[in-house]
Amino acid sequence: MLVSLFLVRTGSIQAQINPYLQTPTPTSVYISWHSNDTAFTKIRYGLSGTNLDQVKTGSFQNIGGKHWHTVKLTGLTPDTRYYYRCISGNDSSAVCPFRSQPFPGTAGRHIRFVIFGDSRYNDTIPSILGQLCQNVQQTLQSKYGTVWYDSVNLVMHTGDIVWTGRDIDRFENEYFSKIANLSCSLPFMVSIGNHEHESAFYFDYMKYEDFTDSAVAKTAYNERFYSFGIAGCKFVVLNSNDKMIGAPIQKTWLNKVLTESEADPVTNLVFTFSHHPWHSEVWTEGDYDSVDVVFYPEFLKFSKMVQYSYGHAHDFELGAIVNTTNTNPLVHDFRTVLAGGGGAELTRFFSGSIDYPEIQETVDDYNYILMDINVDDRSYVAEAYTLGKPEHPLHQVLDTWHFRMNQAPPEKPLAMPVTTTNPLILSASAMSGADSCMSSWFEITGTQGNYSSTVISKLRDKEDIFENTGSPNFIPINKNAGIDLTSLEVPDSILTHGKTFWYRVKYRDDNLKWSPWSDEVAFNNTGIDELDFSSDKFNLSQNSPNPFSTSTVIGYQLKSKAHVSITVLNMFGKEVATLVNEEKPAGEYSVMFTVGQDCSPAGIYLVNMRCDGTSRNRKMLITY
């Protein structure tokens, strides 16, 4: 009889048999379990739950008095569902299904994986890991049906699976028994946490030899960090513990893996994992500057690296690290995801919590992440699920985000003339691109064309979710709600009165790609929006009438012969009319602009005049 929900077990003391899958490849997987019956170790498996016609034997280890049985299944057919039963002497597990991994380059594949971490517990506050894993399975079943394991590839755990790795009993009681509903069908891979204490017990349980670099395997760092691929995805699992994160061998290895992935045409996206954050907004004591010093500079060098996931603090935090070190247009910012709400007691907001600029959302809830990668499209969609708090339980989607490697960045914006100094407001055309606007960045300099040392450099995001409304609903608070990313108000005290400044602006979309910087615009702090044209070669006058509904006249002056281009642009920077495009002698001129079908809707439009590589803008208002 086919066993479908992993609830039926056979044998003498089957409650102890909790299969644990790990280290998957297209043709192999390790299956491990606890059993005190050491007569033999084997797995019966096959393509049908009623005909387990193949047998593979393995061996067991005595780990601190616990008997850990392991069989490595080899020769599997890629991307194929198998059924198996673990057998130790007279003990056996239920019949469980799993699916082997697809080969790299397999067309039409989605790679899906779950992320959570910090599932351990202390002796006073039990973990909710078992409940979380049941909720994960419910979500997977609702999305992919009763054979959900055919559509999901693995679980990535960001460490702290036990309270202390020095206590052997903790592994079965806190980890293996609590995840059994998932681990029997989905491989679990772990980035070691500080609570594991680099213990020998941990490394005896985990079978990462096959994924360890051959040069590293010959050293004391064997299995401490590793990488593996599934279809077009590379998973890079790092060790951020003390004495490990600063080891030169790990940094050298990380650079090697990322360099090889960048050059590999089969690898489309790279995901990195370790236990520690650079910053945690909720638990600032858990901040770990070594992550920023050791890992981030390497991540920023490579275009395929798209997300860094970690734990340590017990909450959910979503951020983005700006790439200012690489001008390659293929390089983008990368996501940071703190998925540390995997079952341990929650880390809650307190007076010492800090709102860090690179983190856009923090919610102190239990949580897990579901990643869905479209391998052919080089893209992913992520969903964060919240289980709420002990006093406010939930199970629903908390947030979503995405990345599309092949999507073009936003278009170059148009910085507007400065027309007011009380207050002084910088403004730009709205972002134009395939995605929605996430951020804007305004910079002011006192030296034309030189932004290496700015007077103001202000990056703002549409979301800054920090803290909540408290009991009873704990609604997250967006401190940037209603923000206008197209403008920036500059405090009068910052800029010297009467001095000329220049500013520029660019936008970042929700795909974490930046537009080019706008052309810079000159202004001074006295309310004049252009330079002194008595010393310039040309001037662009304000149109008249303004506002207007049908037509208006635009005047301009040339001090000497020059090629003139005058165009009308909408607020997205799209050209709607060309009024002048020819060489003109010195003199005063005017040109009429008549509203056409491209001038919809009503609103602010720009007159842009270019002459000898210099540009001037004027705002005009069309009303209907």
State which of 524, 555, 585 marks the end of a domain: 524
* 563 inside domain: yes
561 is in which domain, residue-wise? 537-622
**DSSP per-residue letters across 167-235:** -HHHIIIIIITTSHHHHTTS-EEE---GGGTT-HHHHHH---GGGS-HHHHTSTTTTTSEEEEETTEEE
Residue 91's CATH number: 2.60.40.10
- Structure tokens given for 546: 């303004």
603-611 sheet: strands from edge to edge? 575-584, 562-569, 603-611, 614-622
- The pLDDT, as a whole number, for residue 126 is 87
The predicted pLDDT at position 198 comes to 98
DSSP states along 516-537: PPPPPEEEETTS--S--GGGSS
Taking the CA atoms of residue 581, residue 518, residue 378 and residue 261 in that order, the dihedral angle to the nearest 10 degrees is: 120
pLDDT digits (tens, 9 = 90+) for 128-151: 999 999 999 999 999 999 999 999
Question: Domain ends where: 492, 524, 556?
Answer: 524
* Number of domains within the chain: 4
Contact 105, 265 (CB under 8 A): no
> Does residue 139 belong to any structural domain of this protein?
yes
Residue 9 pLDDT more than 60? no
Separation between Cα atoms, residue 292 and residue 317, nearest integer Å: 16
Task: Let me know whether 584 and 472 are in one domain.
Answer: no
- pLDDT, tens digit, 9 for 90 and up, residues 376-429: 999 999 999 999 999 999 999 999 999 999 999 999 999 998 876 667 889 999
CATH of the domain at 454: 2.60.40
Residue 414: inside a domain? no
Q: Residue 106: which pLDDT band, with cuts at 50, 70 and 90? A: confident
Check residue 532 and give its pLDDT.
39
- Tell me if 415 is assigned to some domain: no
- Which pLDDT value is given to residue 584? 93
Q: Is residue 411 part of a domain?
A: no
Same domain, 67 and 182: no
Q: Are 253 and 177 in contact (CB under 8 A)?
A: no
Which stretch of DSSP H or E encloses residue 289? helix 289-290
Q: Which two tokens stand for residue 43?
A: 């797995």
3-state helix/strand/coil string of 502-514:
EEEEEEEECCCCE
Beta-carbon contacts of residue 354 (< 8 Å; ≥ 6 apart):
279, 281, 284
State yes or no: cis peptide before 547, omega within 30 of 0.
Answer: yes
**Residue 172 in domain:** yes
Q: Are residues 281 and 383 both part of a single domain?
A: yes
CATH number of the domain encompassing residue 370: 3.60.21.10
What was the pLDDT predicted at 393? 96
Quick one: 54 exposed, middle or buried, by C-beta within 10 A (0-12, 13-18, 19+)? middle
CA 546 from centre of chain: 46
pLDDT of the residue at 330: 65
In this structure, what are the phi and psi dihedrals at residue 587, rounded to the nearest 5 degrees? Answer: 150, 180
What is the pLDDT at residue 16? Answer: 66
Answer positive or negative: Cα dihedral of 172, 174, 175, 178.
positive
Beta strands in 267-355 (DSSP E): 269-273, 305-310, 316-321, 334-339
CATH number of the domain at 547, please: 2.60.40.1930
SS3 of the chain: helix, strand, coil, percent, to 5: 15, 40, 50
Neighbours of 58 (CB within 10 A): 18
Predicted confidence (pLDDT) per residue in 32-65, tens digit: 999 999 999 999 999 999 999 999 999 999 999 9
The torsion of the CA quartet 452, 457, 460, 465, rounded to 10 degrees, works out to: 100
Strand 110-116 with 154-157, pairing: parallel
Tell whether 541 and 520 lie within a shared domain: no
pTM here is 0.84
- Range scoring the smallest mean pLDDT among 233-237, 361-365, 536-540, 565-569: 536-540
Same domain, residue pair 110 and 47? no
72-86, 482-496, 520-534: which is most confident = 72-86
Tell me the pLDDT band of 2, cut-offs 50, 70 and 90: very low
Q: What is the pLDDT of residue 107?
A: 80
Quick one: 93 and 19 in the same domain? yes
Average model confidence (pLDDT) across the chain: 92
Could you tell me whether strands 437-445 and 500-509 are parallel, antiparallel, or unpaired per DSSP bridges?
antiparallel
Instruction: Say yes or no: 33 and 106 in one domain.
Output: no
pLDDT value, residue 4: 37
Cβ atoms of 284 and 354 closer than 8 Å: yes
Residues 248-282: pLDDT tens digits?
A: 999 999 999 999 999 999 999 999 999 999 999 99
- Report yes or no on 409 lying in a domain: no
Residue of 229, 241, 310, 315 whose CA lies nearest to 270:
229
Q: What is the pLDDT of residues 189-238, one digit of tens each?
A: 999 999 999 999 999 999 999 999 999 999 999 999 999 999 999 999 99
The answer as to whether 251 is a domain residue is yes
The H or E element spanning position 359 is strand 359-363
Residues 348 and 444 in one domain: no
> For residues 341 and 313, what is the distance between their CA atoms, to the nearest angstrom?
8
Each residue of 520-563: pLDDT tens digit?
999 887 643 333 344 478 888 888 888 888 899 999 999 999 99
95 lies in the same domain as 107: no
Are 388 and 451 members of one domain? no
pLDDT digits (tens, 9 = 90+) for 441-455: 999 999 999 999 999
Taking only the tens place, the pLDDT of each residue in 578-620 is 999 999 999 889 999 998 877 877 778 888 898 887 778 888 8
Residue that finishes a domain, picked among 469, 501, 524: 524
Q: Which span out of 14-28, 117-131, 302-316, 538-552 was modeled with the highest average pLDDT?
A: 302-316
Residues 6+ apart with CB under 8 A from 573: 411, 412, 413, 414, 429, 432
Judge if 196 and 163 occupy the same domain. Answer: yes
Distance CA 221, CA 157 (A): 20
**Structure-model confidence comparison of residues 330 and 466, the more confident one:** 466
Average pLDDT over residues 104-125: 90
Is the same domain home to 68 and 116?
no
Q: Give percent of the chain above pLDDT 90.
A: 79
